[in-house]
């Protein structure tokens, strides 16, 4: 299994109902849990959105400019399903942003496809109208189908990031030194959309485990989350 799509398909066959991604925001007390199946459905919808609304194709680039959030791994998976590379460049072919950087990217919406996530619970729309030319993910993603098949699927040597191929990304180990065992649960406060934090999601996925991701972490509450979620490792 060398591509993201192959790894995800294997996990769907193995145990589709198990938790894959559990998200906490200590600032809002939000908790979201995605099973393998639910995650795959979100990836399919996001991939359809990238293709239909931004014309993203294999070999093009996507900037995932989001904070630590459950939508970050969704758009990572969507980009890799399409065959796009996730870039840190300020000149991507398309961008997914959150409220904090919306103003910056909206100024370029006339020449750059901009998808904006409200980061509100359940992935709902922005409360206020967005600037002209900006796509509201919370509105437009729901019309996309729950399944997606790339017409030009990527191979293991296609770039998944600016520096790593899909095969190399799937081989990444977590920053804790790969102490995660098969089927384990990794507690992390790192941003999965950033290159240093990417392995905090790709390793649990490949090992048949799961990620417990905490945004705006309260240090006094992390031990309780670790115990409540039956985590087995930290990053």
Residue 116, beta-bridge partner list: 97, 136
Are 92 and 112 in contact by the 8 Å Cβ rule? The answer is yes
Helices (H), the chain: 4-14, 36-54, 71-82, 102-106, 137-140, 166-170, 199-206, 219-228
**Segments forming the whole domain that contains residue 135:** 4-234
List, run by run, the mean pLDDT of 10-residue segments along the chain (235 residues): 92 96 97 98 98 96 98 98 97 98 97 97 94 97 94 96 94 64 93 91 93 98 98 92
Are 186 and 161 in contact by the 8 Å Cβ rule? The answer is no
The count of domains in the chain is 1
pTM for this structure? 0.96
**Residue-level pLDDT at 171:** 84
Q: How far apart are CA 193 and CA 2, in angstroms?
A: 20
Are 80 and 3 in contact by the 8 Å Cβ rule? The answer is yes
**Residue-level pLDDT at 178:** 58
**Secondary structure letter of residue 197 according to DSSP:** G
**Residue-level pLDDT at 175:** 46
Q: For the domain that residue 70 is a member of, what is the CATH number?
A: 3.40.50.12780
**Residue-level pLDDT at 28:** 94
């Amino acid at each position: 299994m060398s591509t993201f799509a192959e790894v995800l398909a294997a996990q769907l066959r193995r145990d589709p109902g198990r938790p894959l991604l559990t998200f906490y925001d200590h600032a809002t007390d939000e908790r979201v849990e995605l099973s393998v199946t639910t995650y795959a459905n979100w990836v399919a919808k996001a991939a359809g959105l990238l293709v239909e609304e931004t014309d993203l194709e294999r070999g093009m680039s996507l900037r995932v400019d989001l904070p630590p959030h459950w939508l970050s791994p969704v758009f990572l998976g969507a980009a890799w399903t399409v065959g796009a590379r996730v870039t840190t460049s300020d000149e991507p072919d398309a961008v997914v942003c959150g409220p904090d950087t919306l103003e910056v990217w909206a100024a370029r919406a006339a020449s750059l496809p901009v998808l904006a996530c409200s980061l509100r619970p359940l992935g709902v729309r922005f409360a206020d109208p967005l600037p002209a030319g900006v796509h509201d993910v919370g509105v437009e993603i729901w019309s996309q189908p729950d399944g997606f098949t790339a017409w030009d699927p990527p191979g293991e040597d296609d770039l998944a990031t600016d520096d790593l191929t899909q095969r190399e990304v799937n081989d990444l180990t977590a920053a804790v030194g790969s102490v995660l065992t098969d089927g384990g649960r990794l507690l992390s406060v790192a941003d999965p959309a950033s290159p240093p934090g990417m392995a905090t999601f790709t390793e649990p996925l490949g090992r048949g485990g799961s990620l417990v991701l905490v945004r705006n972490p309260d240090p006094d509450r992390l031990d309780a989350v670790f115990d409540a979620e039956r985590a087995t490792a930290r990053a």
